[in-house]
Amino acid sequence: MDTARLDQARAALRRHGVDALLVGPSADLRYLVGYHALPLERLTLLVVPAEGDPLLIVPALEEPRARDSGADQLVTLTSFTETEDPVALVVEHLEAADATARLAVQDRLWTAFTLALQGAIPAAAWVPGSSIMRELRLVKSSQEIRALREVGAAIDAVHAQVPGLLRVGRTEAEVGRDISELILREHDEVNFVIVASGPNGASPHHETGGRRLEQGDAVVVDIGGTRAGYCSDMTRNYVVGEPPGGYAELHRVLEEAQDAAVAAVAPGVAAGVIDRVAREHIADAGYGEYFVHRTGHGIGVEEHEEPWIVEGNDLVLEPGMAFSVEPGIYVPDRYGARIEDIVVVTDDGVERLNLRPREVLVAG
């Protein structure tokens, strides 16, 4: 890693007339300096002034961990002991900690720290860190796209093994544990595993639990992990034995909707249009009321980030933007289905980063 991203962040601060960016443990911190900090009650904070040197403040006991990450090659590292006040270190480093200061705070910094910082610099104006960071993270570099392609192939390889895990009598949780192991073979971390069987499939974010698979179940499997700092996120639908009544037809509509939405992706198209294409197809087939979420979300160092693929978003797609296209149809008390692939906007269209077949696969 080099300081290019920090330089971009400082340029964005200057463009927005913001004096400094304050970043706690988060994807933004990993993105800027490669440090995967633990969110602790002790403050870890990267201070990036628009002018002047960035400073990474860590608790003394975390200093070896911070050094192992290599962040100290990019920024000055300083630590505080159990009896020192880290907020005082922040204020000291900010040259303009006064009434004229505009400070950006990373969106996920814990409230306790944000309030302490605001208390120490009461006259400053505060803006969300995402107002600075979104510009950096929205369009991926060729190196980031390569990482997304690799992690996309990794989750493809996991899904290829899912049919063999879905057998009558096994619980969702048992299947989920097997999938987690498979994810770890191909990734550094498991981010989430959703195994939603039978009627549970009608809940898009079902908590994988104790339900046992039955003959004729449709099963939604939505899984993701992190590999070399970048996330995967992919959903496929399986059936145990014969599909339940109406499911094959519903799934065909979903495949067409997902295909049409992916085909609509191109530079110059508004993000909201991609949602509309998927939604209209599903509504025309009579399932409109069962598609209860947006069509997709951006992905990168975080599994959910901008751009949001949602009605009304007039953000214009540009080459290098990466996001999920994941329409779903959820019939309460019966079953659900969602097809999710990650795509990246290319110079003249779209590239799919997940290449597994999209039709329902028979498991067992």
- Using the rule CB under 5 A, give the single segment among 54-62, 139-147, 252-260, 318-326 that binds Zn ion: 318-326
The nearest distance, CB 323 to Zn ion, in angstroms, is 9
Q: Which amino acid is at 171?
A: T
Peptide bond into 49 cis (omega under 30): no
Does residue 156 bind Zn ion (CB under 5 A)?
A: no
The nearest distance, CB 92 to Zn ion, in angstroms, is 42
- Using the rule CB under 5 A, give the single segment among 34-42, 87-95, 155-163, 235-243 that binds Zn ion: 235-243
What 3 state SS string does the chain have? CCCHHHHHHHHHHHHHCCCEEEECCCHHHHHHHCCCCCCCCCCCEEEEECCCCCEEEEEHHHHHHHHHCCHHHCCEEEEECCCCCHHHHHHHHCCCCCCCCEEEECCCCCHHHHHHHHHHCCCCEEEECHHHHHHHHHCCCHHHHHHHHHHHHHHHHHHCCCHHHCCCCCEHHHHHHHHHHHHHHHCCEEEEEEEEEHHHHHCCCCCCCCCECCCCCEEEEEEEEEECCEECCEEEEEEECCCCCCHHHHHHHHHHHHHHHHHCCCCCCEHHHHHHHHHHHHHHCCCHHHCCCCCEEECCCCCCEEEEECCCCCCECCCCCEEEECCEEEECCCEEEECEEEEEECCCCEEECCCCCCCCEEEC
Identify which of residues 287 and 308 has a Cβ nearer to Zn ion in the complex: 308
Tokens at 10, concatenated:
């400082």
Identify which of residues 235 and 258 has a Cβ nearer to Zn ion in the complex: 235
Identify which of residues 49 and 224 has a Cβ nearer to Zn ion in the complex: 224
Contact predicate 311/279, CB 8 Å: yes
Identify which of residues 217 and 222 has a Cβ nearer to Zn ion in the complex: 222
The nearest distance, CB 5 to Zn ion, in angstroms, is 25
Q: Under 8 Å CB-to-CB from 138, ≥6 apart: which residues?
A: 298, 306, 307, 318, 321
Using CA atoms, how far apart are residues 346 and 175, in angstroms rounded to an integer? 36
The nearest distance, CB 248 to Zn ion, in angstroms, is 22
Identify which of residues 208 and 235 has a Cβ nearer to Zn ion in the complex: 235
Identify which of residues 105 and 220 has a Cβ nearer to Zn ion in the complex: 220
The nearest distance, CB 89 to Zn ion, in angstroms, is 38
Identify which of residues 237 and 324 has a Cβ nearer to Zn ion in the complex: 324
- Using the rule CB under 5 A, give the single segment among 102-110, 212-220, 274-282, 338-346 that binds Zn ion: 338-346
**11-70 positions binding Zn ion, by CB under 5 A:** none
Identify which of residues 126 and 192 has a Cβ nearer to Zn ion in the complex: 192
**265-284 positions binding Zn ion, by CB under 5 A:** none
The nearest distance, CB 234 to Zn ion, in angstroms, is 7
Number of residues that bind Zn ion (CB under 5 A): 5
Does residue 324 bind Zn ion (CB under 5 A)?
A: yes
The nearest distance, CB 176 to Zn ion, in angstroms, is 14
The nearest distance, CB 96 to Zn ion, in angstroms, is 40
Helix axes 172-186, 142-159, angle to 10 degrees: 140
The nearest distance, CB 157 to Zn ion, in angstroms, is 17
Please report, in angstroms and rounded to a whole number, the separation of the first and last CA atoms in the chain.
45
The nearest distance, CB 296 to Zn ion, in angstroms, is 7
Identify which of residues 22 and 234 has a Cβ nearer to Zn ion in the complex: 234
Identify which of residues 36 and 294 has a Cβ nearer to Zn ion in the complex: 294
Does residue 222 bind Zn ion (CB under 5 A)?
A: yes
- Using the rule CB under 5 A, give the single segment among 63-71, 210-218, 242-250, 340-348 that binds Zn ion: 340-348
Does residue 302 bind Zn ion (CB under 5 A)?
A: no
Does residue 233 bind Zn ion (CB under 5 A)?
A: yes
**Chain contacts with Zn ion (rule: CB under 5 A):** 222, 233, 235, 324, 340
